[in-house]
């Protein structure tokens, strides 16, 4: 994360922290500054008892060590994703990465591990949250908590997954099942913004009569239809 982002009110990280409870031992993959772990130790309700701070780069891991030096029960791991895992962990957090990287990390893990039924995954992809949801649904997870946070002029989709059995549909993958039910302000604003963006793109392509963009225009028009239906 860039330095200027560090002075924010940490709205996104606080929401992720809220989803940790009742888990007590977290593994934060891509912990960077270690702020999430700090929030999770300090919060009256969450009060985790132990954390694994994981990063694949020395710089961020050293930052985390520095920021978390007053906390005894933190184990620092320099590694790729979940390549080493400890069975006492009951909540894995992967936040602030692209969806495809998150899926790659989880796929590597699922291929070599039997997942404990109590293990929760809190995932916040900066891009392609829908791909992450689809991947998790296909691996037998359901969403128990979900929301959209607006911070730094961006919308962040946060999903918490636990093992379960719910039948989901295309719209659940695209928009998030709880987001669809709650339809809160951030949800409406995010999709209204995207609707305007896609309509502008389609309008420009139509105006230019650009045949090379046929496939992309069909995709965008379909998206527009779906968004309009959901926002009705």
The minimum distance between CB 115 and ligand SAM, in angstroms, equals 19
Least distance in angstroms from the C-beta of 89 to ligand SAM: 15
Gap between the Cα atoms of 147 and 76, Å rounded: 29
Least distance (Å) from ligand SAM to the CB of residue 1?
A: 5
In this structure, the dihedral spanned by the alpha carbons of residues 37, 42, 124 and 192, taken in order and rounded to 10 degrees, is -150
Which CB sits closer to ligand SAM, 54 or 202?
54
For ligand SAM, the closer CB: 11 or 197: 11
Instruction: Name the residues that contact ligand SAM, by CB under 6 A.
Output: 1, 13, 29-30, 32, 54-57, 60, 80-81, 95-97, 105
Cis status, amide bond into 22, omega within 30 of 0: yes
Neighbours of 13 (CB within 10 A): 26
Cβ atoms of 146 and 117 within 8 Å: the answer is no
Residue number, nearest CB to ligand SAM: 30
Nearer to ligand SAM, 95 or 217 (CB): 95
Cβ-based nearer residue to ligand SAM, 6 or 183: 6
98, 132 in Cβ contact below 8 A? no
């Amino acid at each position: 994360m860039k330095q200027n982002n560090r002075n924010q009110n940490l709205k996104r990280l606080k929401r992720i922290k809220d989803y940790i409870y009742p888990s007590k031992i977290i593994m934060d993959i891509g912990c960077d500054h270690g702020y999430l772990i700090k929030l999770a130790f300090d919060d009256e309700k969450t009060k985790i008892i132990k954390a694994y701070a994981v990063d694949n780069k020395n710089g961020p891991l050293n930052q985390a060590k520095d920021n978390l030096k007053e906390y005894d029960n933190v184990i620092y791991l320099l590694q790729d994703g979940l390549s080493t895992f400890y069975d006492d962990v009951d909540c894995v957090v992967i936040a602030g990465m692209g969806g495809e990287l998150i899926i790659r990390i989880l796929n590597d893990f699922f291929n070599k591990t039997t997942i404990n039924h109590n293990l929760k995954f809190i995932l916040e992809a900066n891009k392609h949250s829908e791909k992450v949801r689809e991947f998790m649904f296909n691996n037998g997870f359901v969403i128990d908590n979900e929301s959209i946070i607006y911070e730094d002029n961006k919308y962040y989709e946060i999903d918490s997954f636990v093992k379960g059995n719910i039948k989901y549909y295309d719209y659940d993958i695209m928009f998030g099942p709880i987001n669809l039910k709650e339809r809160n302000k951030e949800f409406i604003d995010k999709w209204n913004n995207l609707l305007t963006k896609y309509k502008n793109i389609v309008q420009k392509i139509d105006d230019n009569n650009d045949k090379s963009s046929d496939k992309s225009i069909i995709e965008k028009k379909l998206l527009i239809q779906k968004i309009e239906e959901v926002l009705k």
